[in-house]
Structure 1
Amino acid sequence: SHNASGILNKEAVEKAGGAYGQHPVGTGPYKFVNWQAGDRITLEVNPDYYLGKAPTDKVIFRSIVEGTNRTIGLETGEVDIAFDIDPVDKNMVKDNDRLELIEEPSLSTTYLGFNMQKDSLKDKKVRQAIAYALNTQDIADAVYQGSAQTANSSIGPKVFGYNPNAKSYEYNPEKAKELLKEAGYDKGLKLKLWINDNPIRRDIAVIAQDQLKQVGIDVTIETLEWGAFLDGTARGDHDLYILGWVSVTGDADYGLDPLFNSANKGGAGNRSFYSNPKVDELLVKGRSSVNPEERKTYYYEIQDIVQEEVPVLTLVYPTQNVGEQKTVQGFKMHPAGHHKVYGTYKTK
């Protein structure tokens, strides 16, 4: 059910080879026109679409990496719909009479991961201490401007199998100091926190650095280029890292198996190098069963174990948003963030 699992035209794929991305063939509401790498993809309506011709004849997807520039594009009218308005720019959209900001819950999480191969992070008490030392409500308020919910599990409320009663780490710096002392780090601990060049993760890292310092943990923030970040965390070169995950299928299997199955250590998703035979067994049972209620019991137990052992600390469940011109009608967001424009049109 992953939306990347599309049916491809074998003849078209074999004919185009490595250039298939510039010559795609499909059956959707729009037909491919051209792709200007790093800039835009242009589509035109498919009059033979089985659900009926789309109301908009031409759609252009533009790549505008810098968040504020996306918002400026809305303000100037250059852009009709902008995905993922940065929290700091939301009021620019809200306060503009010609624009509208739409926010909805998503299937995504933002988490702090621990490399459990590192000696200082093998002890559960250290990981729990870090969890108690972080005020995730501060992160939701300051970084996301309130557009996020604090988390108690590695999957969120919109995902099938979410456990609402899984352990939540309330902010308790004294408890954090106590656990560090029990783990033998009463004189302090030094760790490196890896992030990629992402403004939201940068802001989270700065808050985490300050809060962890208050319990005796000295954190150095290292910002890596995205490819180097993925390669390094796949090898296990890091101590701590910040990443996100989207349970695209809306099912707990996709939210839990990549991150916690010991078979997926490294680049497959388990960048904490976490291994628990019981969790592996429950993941197989959850994937194999066709009884929804039975599956829930397996996934609830996995979340209880993971929240206790803390291979990752899920910080928040971010909401998703789009900014659009008020003349835009019919646009609907998808909780996985893969929005479709079929049925969207502009009024005059």
Structure 2
Amino acid sequence: MAACANEPTGNEGGSDSDGDEGTADNGGGEGGDLIASMASDIVGLDLHGSNDTYSSNVASNIYETLVYHDAELELQNGLAESYEQIDENTWEFKLREGVTFHDDSEFNADVVKANLDRILDPEIASQRAFLYDMIEEVEVVDTYTVRLITEYPFAPLPAHLAHNGGGMMSADMIERDYEAMENGEEPGSVINEEAIGTGFFKFDSWSPGSEVKLVKNEDYWGEPAKVDSVTFRVVPEDGTRIADLNTGAAHIADPLSPSDVSQIEATDGMHVESTESVAMMYIGFNSQKEPFDDPNVRKALSMAINKQSIIDGIYDGHGLEARSPLAPKVYGYNENIDVIEYDPEEAKSLLEEAGYGEGELTITFNTSDHRERQNIAENVQQALAEIGVTANIEMEEWGSYLESTANGEQEMFVLSWSTVTGDGDYGLFPLFHSSQQGSAGNRTFTEDEELDEILMAARRNEDQEARLDQYIEAQNILADEAIILPLFHEDYLLGVSDSVEGLWQHPTRRLMLQDVTINN
């Protein structure tokens, strides 16, 4: 999220795999230090100050939400024992009693109010505020009862509360963070140093560009973690992450490139974990720039691109061709929506209708410095050449790429988005509603009054069948106008040591570490 829920972030640093000090402690059974090599550093541990995958992955082991999604994206009770919708604009949550934070402060209704008030505070300027900006009031009914009153009926509110941005941070820590702001510090300055939640791991240390370490919460209210600690090491190079796995310097390589799967499978002592995701890789067109303000041009370029060739040739088949922005597990997905089909001859005809003969159109295709995305750009470049379009590839470092696409400097680009709430609202509203242009998600800078009305109506609709029809209608508009070209829903891949048991990866890409053990 930055641009998307599952995007990595820019980073520096490397592996510390030489010598005994850098070797994973395998312990045997419960205990030991679990080491995960990840491609990028975290942005921060303030839940309201970052929206990237790696920050969320670490933070989800420290902080907990009122409700959460299980492996099938069904909502389960978390820090809330129960909840109900009292009227169309009011949701009531009964909170779990006896839960304490890592600083021994109590979890209660006041804490929920402090967290939701903060994420909506304009001074915090949270990238995640859009998840909860429909909440008008957080009412503390009693110590363990809280009511959320919305500006309008908002059916997916519980799903949004399951998002990592709805995690509960210590109210005492939030207060100290505000005090620091009064003294001129940036929002999150205290939180990023303390990171106090209720989760089964506690924050220990963060060495920016190097590693983040968590330790077991011995006083966890539920079933405690099995390992003593988890260390997330920043290892940008794919080959180095695999080498660390092979030497025992790490237990998990996250992510694993599809092109490296065969190497892992052929190596004793390690294996591949694959998870069907709710993420979408897509090609976007900046509708505010010529010639991408013409739907015929967008459709023509889309028709020239063979999605399956990208899945097979670059991702070695580890992905599902996308029909729309929504993956099959997401509410709102439907097999019968309109789809832009691969048709190079029709693409040429549409370009001629738009006034571009063969060889008359030159565009810029922007991409980040990730290996697979560079390969996607080259595949697209070749595909467009076959219909007489010249595509010049411009590559940027990840952080710079996010900034430039948020500012609308791109023409045609490749990004991804993960519908981490499991609800179509999150998969469509941030990406395509005109109010979300820029860093919030709408990097195509789409302005479509009909689409805006449908997306807003769907998020306010309490009738789930009617909402489904509205999302089908919205997805048909996206295809008819060729606002983006959904490419595929990728499989999340991990390289894992055979010594690790109990690990699984959530469809939203989070590493589920509570039940992990290390065995030799």
TM-score using structure 1 length: 0.96
After superposition, where does 1:64-143 map in structure 2 within 5 Å?
64-143=235-314
Per-residue deviation, 1:113: 0.5
The answer as to 2:462 corresponding to 1:290 is yes
User: For residues 258 and 152 of structure 1, what CA distance do their matches in structure 2 show?
Assistant: 19
Q: CA deviation at 1:69?
A: 1.4
Q: What's the offset of the Cα at 1:225? A: 2.3
Deviation for aligned residue 1:259? 0.9
Structure 1 segment 1-348 matched on structure 2, within 5 A: 1-15=162-176, 17=180, 18-187=189-358, 188-348=360-520
1:152-202 alpha-carbon deviations (Å, 9 max, x no partner): 101111211112122223321111111111111124211001111111110
Give me the whole-angstrom Cα distance separating, in 2, the residues matched to 1:132 and 1:228: 29
1:260 to partner: Cα distance: 0.6
Taking the aligned partners of 1:8 and 1:236, their CA distance within structure 2 comes to 34
Q: What letter corresponds to residue 258 of structure 1 in structure 2?
A: P
CA-CA distance at 1:275 after TM superposition = 1.4
8 Å Cα contact 2:168/2:198 also seen in 1: no
CA distance in 1: counterparts of 2:406 and 2:201, whole angstroms: 37
- For residues 51 and 41 of structure 1, the distance between their equivalents in structure 2, rounded to whole angstroms, comes to 24
Partners of 1:92 and 1:141 in 2: how far apart? 17
Bigger share in helix: 1
Q: CA deviation at 1:37?
A: 1.2
Q: Which moved more, 1:164-173 or 1:189-198?
A: 164-173
Equivalent residue letter for 1:138: S
- Looking at structure 2, the residues matched to 218 and 46 of structure 1 have their Cα atoms a distance apart, in angstroms, of 56
Q: C-alpha distance in 2, partners of 1:189/1:266?
A: 26
TM-score, normalised with respect to structure 2: 0.65
Greater shift in the superposed pair: 85-94 or 161-170: 161-170
User: 1:335: how far off?
Assistant: 0.5
What letter matches 1:252 in structure 2? G
SS at match of 2:316: coil
Following the alignment from structure 1 to structure 2, what is the Cα–Cα distance between the partners of residues 329 and 304? Answer: 43
CA shift, 1:100, in A, is 1.3
Alpha carbons 2:408, 2:438 under 8 Å: kept: yes
For residues 298 and 290 of structure 1, the distance between their equivalents in structure 2, rounded to whole angstroms, comes to: 12
Moved over 6 A (4+): none
How far apart are the structure 1 equivalents of 2:281 and 2:496?
Answer: 25
Give, in whole Å, the separation in 1 of the partners of 2:342 and 2:262.
Answer: 29
- CA distance in 1 between counterparts of 2:228 and 2:441 reads 40
- In 1, Cα distance between the equivalents of 2:446 and 2:264? 42
Q: CA deviation at 1:6?
A: 1.2
**Does structure 2 conserve the Cα–Cα contact (< 8 Å) formed by 1:163 and 1:303?**
no
Q: What secondary structure, in the 3-state scheme, does the structure 1 residue paired with 2:420 have?
A: coil
SS at match of 2:268: coil
Counterpart of 1:215 in 2: which secondary structure? coil
> CA offsets per residue over residues 286-321 of structure 1, 9 Å max, x none?
111222222111111100110111111111111111
Alignment partners' CA distance in 2, 1:103 and 1:109 = 16
SS of match in other structure, 2:495: strand
- Give me the whole-angstrom Cα distance separating, in 2, the residues matched to 1:61 and 1:97: 23
Q: What is the alpha-carbon distance in structure 2 between the residues aligned to residue 137 and residue 52 of structure 1?
A: 43
Distance 2:281 2:502 in 1: 29
Which amino acid is the alignment partner of residue 175 of structure 2? E
Between the aligned partners of 1:258 and 1:213, the Cα distance in structure 2 is 32
Aligned partner of residue 120 in structure 1, secondary structure: coil
Tell me, yes or no, if the aligned pair for 2:340 and 2:482 is still in contact at 8 Å. no
Count of aligned pairs = 348
Preserved contact between residue 151 and residue 168 of structure 1 (Cα < 8 Å): no
Distance in 2, matches of 1:263 and 1:4, equals 20
Deviations 1:121-167, CA, capped at 9 Å, x for gaps: 12111111111100111100111111011111011112111121222
Return the alpha-carbon distance in structure 1 between the equivalents of residues 386 and 503 of structure 2.
Answer: 46
> By how many angstroms is 1:232 displaced?
2.1
Q: Any idea what SS the aligned residue of 1:201 has? A: helix
CA distance in 2, matches of 1:53, 1:230: 38
The alpha carbon displacement at 1:101 in A equals: 0.5
Q: Is the 8 A contact 1:196 1:225 kept in 2?
A: yes
Q: Quick check: 2:258–2:493 contact (8 Å CA) kept in 1?
A: no
Matches of 2:512 and 2:205 in 1, distance apart?
18
2:170 partner letter: N
The residue identity in structure 2 corresponding to 1:156 is A
CA distance in 1, matches of 2:461, 2:366: 37
Q: Give me the whole-angstrom Cα distance separating, in 2, the residues matched to 1:276 and 1:163.
A: 22
TM-superposed deviation, 1:226: 2.4
Task: State how far apart, in whole Å, the 1-side matches of 2:241 and 2:332 are.
Answer: 35
